[in-house]
Structure 1
């Protein structure tokens, strides 16, 4: 990352720990210079959110995040009238706040929201850079610095939950994945506060789970889960006990699958 970035204006805020694995930093910064919206694709727990945090710090911009869910409506993003102190007042949603303040708005797992909800971002994600607010009978122009970032996990979504082409083609896409072995070891060791040897063992377990043939798992062991397990080791648990609690029993409730994963833990991780 460039040393003369806007983030230098924020010396009191530590930069989020992030290790690039490709050209994602360069692509993001180039898109930011053009105010182009960004679509992040990648598996759960691979570092999408941390990447956005690091880029917001690099650019010296506020980051406003909203997590998508099946009950999310456009009002959750734009805002609504609420009763406060006997008066009805308008309260901005996260998207409107970001538009007004020139912040980065990160909509995490946006496809989890209803499809009609995502339509509200269309005029912000093209040349107009506008947000219509029907309930206020007004349209906001995005303040300088505003950038829209959305993410989703393409391997997790069903046919009924995918981004429409009319939405996708407004975005610059950046595809992220789990980092290379040595990078992932560095990340786990740093984030969990454990030694490199223990981090290496946990990453080896994670890789073994990801490479299982015919795996019945819906999700694999993410970098996030490996960090959680490492944190338990840092608190005094053995790597095997930590892995069983933070990885195995998180990934499955099926007794046979849990038993098989426990055997893998015993085979990969050192004895207490």
Structure 2
């Protein structure tokens, strides 16, 4: 048994106080987790700001339940929300990002040559099932119908049969969890923003508990900017958050005001923090007559967009930051 499997085999499930884990205040409500993290456990961010949707996912963690399907727009923090909660429970997370060429063997494992002989290598889904952990399938609405159908038995709690490994039967560990993220709710993408997404089979979707995640509240992002970019004036931080929210509205088609157009880029909280950090780093450019806010905006987001969208982003920036350094 290699070191990774030895570490997974040594995991010790334990009862944790849910209130202490998630809010710092004892609640008396127990939640199952692990006594200590391992190399597969995400590292929690001390500055992470939880969404209101975290309530749903916390409840999902409290008791063994149906698989979880989390959907929402790009940049809303679906994956990070799941991983931050898992990190606080010391859950090992086995993460895969789906794509059109993903095969079921990529999830469960396959035969490979090791030191001159054929050896079966467990895939991330099998590891999560066998040792107890969270299997996280991102962009699940990009997987092909045959891969989705291959997961049906697992989603129902049935054992996994590894035909290539002599028919080994892997029963789901009591701590095993299956979570998926997507930009759509499994139905057809009516917005046209997410090319390549597929409408999911109704029977497949019926196996999931659904949770919608939107963008963070302005107050949460303001508090985060205050901690991570306190050198920026409060008025600048406030307008940055306002700007990010306006861009998100343009992205999802909730247009208002003077600009009425859907655009192809959006602001994640990560992008917002990058913008603030770059604005601070580019402050010396103000002495050369260059506006640091706009200069940093290009490098944080705008350069990903088309020329037409860049013009819209600059127009919006000029309205919110007319003379700001």
Provide TM-score, normalisation by structure 2.
0.73
2:309 equivalent in structure 1: 257
Distance 1:67 1:188 in 2: 29
1:117 counterpart SS class: helix
2:5 equivalent in structure 1: none
When the two chains are superposed, the root-mean-square deviation of aligned CA atoms in Å is 2.7
2:151 equivalent in structure 1: 121
1:3 equivalent in structure 2: 20
Distance 1:205 1:263 in 2: 11
Distance 1:190 1:8 in 2: 30
1:19 equivalent in structure 2: 49
1:167 equivalent in structure 2: 204
Distance 1:47 1:81 in 2: 35
2:161 equivalent in structure 1: 132
Unaligned runs of 5+ in 2: 1-17, 22-30, 284-291
Q: Deviations over 1:85-116 (max 9, x none)?
A: 21111111111111111000111111222221
- Name which structure has the greater RCO, CA cutoff 8 Å, separation 6+: 1
Contact 2:141 2:197 survives alignment (8 Å) = no
Of the three residues 47, 60, 64, the one matched with 1:31 is 60
The within-5 A match list for 1:99-248 is: 99-126=129-156, 128-136=157-165, 137-154=167-184, 156-157=193-194, 161-190=198-227, 195=232, 197=234, 198-212=236-250, 213=255, 214-236=260-282, 238-248=292-302
1:69 counterpart SS class: coil
**Deviation (angstroms), 1:192:** 6.4
2:13 equivalent in structure 1: none
Which of the pair has more CA radius of gyration?
A: 2
Distance 1:77 1:194 in 2: 45
Contact 1:192 1:228 survives alignment (8 Å) = no
2:94 counterpart SS class: strand
1:271 equivalent in structure 2: 324
Distance 1:42 1:225 in 2: 17
Query: Residues 54 and 249 from structure 1, CA distance in 2 versus in 1: closer, same or farther, beyond 3 angstroms?
Result: same
Number of residue pairs aligned between Structure 1 and Structure 2: 268
1:41 equivalent in structure 2: 71
Unaligned runs of 5+ in 1: none
Distance 2:232 2:34 in 1: 30
**Deviation (angstroms), 1:220:** 2.6
